[in-house]
Amino acid sequence: MKIFYEPNHLQHDPPFEGYNDSGPQPSYEKAARAEKVYAALGEVEWAEFHPPTDFGLEPILAVHSVTYLDYLHSAYQDWQIHSPVSGMAFIPGTYGIDHQKAKGLSGFEQAGFFLMDTTVALTPGTFLGALQSAHCALTGAQALTMGESAAFSLNRPPGHHAGREICGGYCYFNNVAIAAQWLSRSGKVSILDVDYHAGNGTQSIFYDRADVLSVSLHADPSDEYPYYAGHATETGAGPGVGFHRNFPLPVGTERSRYVEALESALELIARSAPEYLLVSAGMDIFKDDPLGSFKLTQDDINLIGRKISSLTLPTLIVMEGGYHLPTLGSNFAAFLEPFGERAFS
């Protein structure tokens, strides 16, 4: 199974993600996440590592705006003009709404229009890390068109919270949306999101479109981030009505409840008859994850992977969340095992 990985992600390692009464709080989305997964997959016989191809900016600009990319590219340098603080760009305490107004402002003033929350710190290596993350997903999508039955994009930072012109939840470029947009030129695409948190960015990008079915299982946004998106009543808009489906799950969800929802999601995907499946995979569904509340074990995670693999579609798995470092690598290995076995056979 081809796994696409780029060590440049190490340059994006935010020192903290916000403040509380005790001061700066360490970021959960750290460079060690990808390194743990890389190490674990290095021990299985079906893993085959490859660097990503540079696709340039065109596929990214098919999803994100020029204004947004310009901001992310220059924001850290603009911040350094205003502050000598090393390693982290300005994170506003208030947020703008009118992106048209933002286009007339300086880079420093634009921050509140493009940063959704305090988890999206901007460091000297953030833009490069995000760019290479997108290239990993694109190279995985390309592998499917070349006959691979499955591929894994071992990328960070993650992507499914990033919208067309907004970043949040550790996400800057929406890797799975970029890959889906590119891959849709070669055939019908469906997206399945099994991260613990609702992929509000992916939902917003495809919400009014009928060419990509997007389905998501996640913690009920009434209780969990991102709060404002991911509800069961959100099923698409305009031409996209019926082409998005959310399965919000309650705090403490265990195997039986999760598998029931997953089987419903897989039935929807099977009925849509896609030629390719893209999976936003987050191991924050694991029972010990510090940012999750589900009660799923590693065996459950392996079962989830097996059920998705049973669709026998050419499948790209894109790395999203998962913050319990001691088990993150083995959890991803468990999830990927059925795809790896299929590709290896």
Q: Decide if pLDDT at 259 tops 80.
A: yes
Residue 105: per-residue pLDDT? 65
Task: Give 156-207 as a DSSP string.
Answer: SS--TT-BTTBBBTTBSS-HHHHHHHHHTTTS-EEEEE-SSS--HHHHHHHT
Residue 103: per-residue pLDDT? 63
What does the pLDDT average to over 60-75?
93
| Cβ–Cβ < 8 Å for 188, 272 | yes
**Residue 333, token pair as written in the block:** 């290995």
Question: Is residue 101 very low, low, confident or very high in pLDDT (cuts 50, 70, 90)?
Answer: low
Over the stretch 290-304, which tens digit does the pLDDT of each residue have?
999 999 999 999 999
Give this prediction's pTM: 0.95
Question: Is residue 111 very low, low, confident or very high in pLDDT (cuts 50, 70, 90)?
Answer: low
Over the stretch 69-90, which tens digit does the pLDDT of each residue have?
998 998 888 877 777 666 556 6
Count of other CB atoms within 10 angstroms of residue 302? 17
Average model confidence (pLDDT) for the chain? 92
Helix (H) or strand (E) holding 130: helix 126-145
Residue 340: per-residue pLDDT? 95
Amino acid at 28: Y
| Residues 6+ away with beta carbon under 8 Å from 304 | 194, 258, 259, 262, 285, 296, 335
**Residue 92, token pair as written in the block:** 């506003």
Residue 9 annotated among the catalytic residues of the structure: no
What does the pLDDT average to over 151-161?
98
* Among 9, 64, 161, 244, the one annotated catalytic: 161
Q: Please name which of 294, 295, 111 lies closest in space to residue 218, comparing C-alpha atoms.
A: 294
Residue 205: per-residue pLDDT? 97
What are the structural domains, with CATH classification, of the chain? 2-12+27-52+125-344 (3.40.800.20)
Q: Decide if pLDDT at 247 tops 60.
A: yes
Over the stretch 214-239, which tens digit does the pLDDT of each residue have?
999 999 999 999 999 999 999 999 99
Reduced to 3 states, what is the DSSP secondary structure of residue 72? helix
Residue 323: per-residue pLDDT? 98
Question: Is residue 339 very low, low, confident or very high in pLDDT (cuts 50, 70, 90)?
Answer: very high
Residue 30: per-residue pLDDT? 93
Percentage of the residues of the chain whose pLDDT score is greater than 70: 91
Q: How many CA atoms lie within 13 A of 81 on its CB side?
A: 8
Residue 117: per-residue pLDDT? 85
